[in-house]
Structure 1
Amino acid sequence: MTIERREFLTLAAATAATAALPGPLLAAAAADPLKGRIVVNALGGLGDPNDRGDGMVPRVSPRVLTEAHASGLTAVNITLGYVSGPADPFEASVRDIAATDRLVREQDRDLVKILTAADIRRARAEGKVGLIYGFQNGAMMGKDVGRADIFANLGVRIFQLTYNPANQIGDGSMAPGNRGITPFGRELIARLNDLRVMVDLSHSGERTCLEAARASRAPISINHTGCRALVDLPRNKTDAELRLVAERGGFVGIYFMPFLNVTGHARAEDVVAHIDHAVNVCGEDHVGIGTDGDVTQIDDLKRYEAALAKEIAGRRAAGISAAGERPDTYPFVVDLRGPDQFRKLVRLLQAKGYGSARIEKILGANFLRYAETVWGA
């Protein structure tokens, strides 16, 4: 998922001032459950799934940014750089960062590059959407740990060690060996700690995750996952992984993905169930959201299904697919999507008995606290 896959083209949107709203809308805005809150999507995107161009490749339309603002989103960890394919991992990753920097410069009225926790607060105060630069595969490192300095200096703030297969750092969730962290992986984790870059263990195998959490001097994260105690699939994390990450001060984001239900057809109630389980295992100070999806929803699901089948076939051929991915399983939760997804989640958590303070933590305060620990205030 490089920048070519998420082409942020012709972004333009204007947010109407609250004071200009008519009476009924002003009252609705005042009752907004997200008002004054920071909402951080620990893994997501800004794309228009209705305008994908070539196959599954999303293109961002003016609608996307308008809906991102309307959703209440403060900041999102976007996937840049190499994930899989024939491109040179290092070159593709540098190219993506440069293209996204250009986008932020061109759209500075709406977007801001996130480098510190203070930038997340600034995005909220200025009504902008913060972009957190993140990787989902460490292949671009080659065997040169010094490349971590290059990417940190370019603004990468989240470094996911593996995707689903194994790489030179460790084993992904679909690697059969479950071999854990390699010596190079341990060296890389130490360098990322020195550089104050988040180490993300999403997609990792269990042993890789446990060893990395113990090896890291700084807290680590699992930015988008589910709970394997509820659904036994490799992309979901065991209680041992969740607990260790929390005990070491880290962060766990629950995704809005098919892996949350054994049928592959996850619903909003499944998201709440996995959040609730994670809170019970990790404690309420270590759980948030990492939807692994866009804010803009798909308008025509039937049309989308044909493109999805092609995408799944391509992922399987490339060896990067996860158990539980099928052409009939949407990579999102059908009844928890679109620009109202975070407000609906709030309502569901309230119905579950969650209080305002706990909900605020899950929406973004926990990620912000974690960011302050790793990046600095």
Structure 2
Amino acid sequence: MGARKEPTFMEQSPLLPLREELAQVAPYGAPQLEVAARLNVNENPYPPSPEMIADITRAVSQVAAGLNRYPDRDFTALRAALAGYVLRESGLDFPVEQIWAANGSNEVMVQLLGAYAGPGRTVLGTEYSYSMYPEYVRGAHSTYVTVPRQSDWNLDVDALLQGLRDFRPSVLLLANPNNPTGTACREAELVQILQQARETGPDISGKPSCTVVVVDEAYGEFRDPGKPSALALLEKYPHLAVSRTMSKSFGMAGLRLGYLVAAKAMITDIMRVRLPYHLSALTQAAAIAALGHAEEQLCQLAELRQRRDTLAAWLEDKGYTVPRSQANFVLFGPFPDRHQVFSDLLDRGVLVREVGPEGFLRVSIGTAAEDQAFRQAFEEVTG
């Protein structure tokens, strides 16, 4: 027998020093499957128009000639374009200094928590809300606690106010409209929360700080006409931050551009923790070009809202519970075995999402053809 061969360095499989709290954590992500009707991640079903594609192509081509240089670190042109869009959509005028942007609203949240959360601090949320919130908080080495919602999944304001008093969180994460329930709180309820949050943060040098209230309006443009955005409260409440995205209503999920409107002091704090040059020159150019087509993008929303309400009524007529949605999806159920319904729909080429309260499923509003495919498959599955 020959001498035993010693393993090489690469064959020894050294023990990697993974953080202990991550040992049982699975990577986050909804299923990515190529099916006829992909209705599980709340995408806008309409692709960019040929005119928008042409403008984006032209803008990116022009920027490409200077890719040997770092991009504008403070992306002032993009922030100005976002301010113009916010004025067009909400009627509210904010200076560039109150606008921030990042690679999706995910990075906006990470930056906010990087500034205001951290070891020994608590972040407050509600049950049955965006499933990424605990992930953000874990990455900030903070504790995430939630308060219950009402039985109809609307916000339980009393429970939330008590949570502010009990936990003294540095940050409150409040999705409005909420994902996955689609429910939205009223402006008067937000005012109650903001007033309470003035002095419910952690003590700093013996004095109570505020709780930073982050209102996540990822689906804000899908709210019914006449329902105000939390943006209207920013002037009076400097501890409020309103997060938005171009992914959903604007139909640019592949661009990865989220943005924030907040007091100048809060933007300054975020800049303390942001990575330098975090938005590429290509992203900035594409986003500015896309924002030039805001009118056509916003015109799509009325149709999507109408089909959302029609689908919700159809499911209710079949005896299912459907919360009043102000987003581009509906939650429906309950089912004795929701996974079986999910699997049966998938077998028929329709992908929905298993998320939220036990027994419930969530379906995004797709094209008219995709909505019809869901209805047909659902009737076959449920009889």
Asked whether the two chains share a fold, i.e. TM above 0.5, the reply is: no
Q: Which category of TM-score, normalised to the shorter sequence, fits these structures?
A: 0.3 to 0.5
Q: Which has the higher contact order (CA 8 A, sep 6+)?
A: 2
